[in-house]
Structure 1
Amino acid sequence: MYEQLKLPKADIQIRQNAKTSELFDVVRKLWLPYTPEEWVRQNILHFLINYQGVPPSLIAVEMPIKVNRMERRCDIVVYSRSGKPAMIVECKAPGVKVTQKTVDQAGRYNLTLKAPYLMVSNGLRHYAFSIDFENESTTALNSIPDYSSLLRH
């Protein structure tokens, strides 16, 4: 059920109730039903906070945005200290293959937010990109940028 992901081990609080398992969201401070995608999202949140140095207060989870006049939700948005989006993270369940379509989805969300970094992950495969809006180019990165790197952009 709780698949081992290709991320450092996270100390995620889990509780069982009569019908389901729940995970504690360290950013929103609430219990959520276990789903494979939520498992990935919580592991990535722990990774961003504990290994990449992102302050939890500068993370939004499932942030509502409008894309082509339609309501959507961004899985994770990391903000700079000045309140500007620095990175969007799109999470998929481990069984969902990360494809160009997944990257395009995150890119469409980023048309609204204009974050200079983008990450897509299913917990097993992670892809990070740097976005240059001025030159309309995207560069694949070899690693997930830490918070200080996000701020240099």
Structure 2
Amino acid sequence: MQELNLPPFEYKVTQSSENLLIWDVLRRRHVVLTPEEWVRQHVVHYLINHRGYPKGLLSLERGHRYNQRQKRTDLVALDGHGQPLLLVECKAPSVPITAAVALQAATYNQTIGAPLLLLSNGLSHFCWRVNFEQRTNERLPEVPRYGE
């Protein structure tokens, strides 16, 4: 797999009859190792090991409804009260983070309501603090530590 612009982590990969699988610490099972999953696993470990996000407050591929359609977010970090704190949208390294990707995440976040938004393809990362009352956002240099 491609080297990413995220800290490395210890991972377990196995081969099934058809696919390469990686151990997912949140789902507690092996999942197919796609380029997007490689990024998602790096982001999960970055949030836990480098930004202090509790593993038990990270939710992968959480379902939500938008415009009467069922959608799934890549990752949502919850605060201590179970409310969305950080919405993460992961893309494969070959997929650039464009305005369309940002719009997709912002659209999802209208129903989720997380005050922090992170977009990553493993090479480029963009983080914003969202103020829903003032309808503004502030670009952040990095993901805030949990509790900041």
TM-score range, shorter chain: over 0.9
Counterpart for residue 87 of structure 2 = 88
Counterpart for residue 17 of structure 1 = 16
Q: How many residues align?
A: 148
Please give the alpha-carbon distance, in whole angstroms, between the structure 2 residues aligned to 1:20 and 1:84: 35
Superposition RMSD in Å: 0.8
Gaps of 5+ in 1: none
Please give the alpha-carbon distance, in whole angstroms, between the structure 2 residues aligned to 1:92 and 1:146: 22
- Any idea what the Cα deviations from partners look like across 1:38-72, whole Å, max 9, x if unmatched? 01001100101111111110010000111111111
TM score, norm. by length of structure 1: 0.94
Counterpart for residue 54 of structure 1 = 53
SS in structure 2 of the partner of residue 48 of structure 1: helix
Please give the alpha-carbon distance, in whole angstroms, between the structure 2 residues aligned to 1:137 and 1:24: 38
1:143 maps to a residue whose letter is E
Counterpart for residue 3 of structure 1 = 2
In the TM superposition, structure 1's runs of 4+ consecutive aligned residues that sit over 6 Å from their partners are none
Of 116-125 and 13-22, more deviation after overlay is shown by 13-22
1:58 maps to a residue whose letter is L
Counterpart for residue 99 of structure 1 = 98
User: Once the two structures are aligned, what percentage of the paired residues are identical?
Assistant: 37
Equivalent positions of 1:39-78 (< 5 A) are 39-78=38-77
Counterpart for residue 118 of structure 2 = 119
Gaps of 5+ in 2: none
- Any idea what the Cα deviations from partners look like across 1:61-105, whole Å, max 9, x if unmatched? 000111111111000000001111000000000000000111111
TM score, norm. by length of structure 2: 0.97
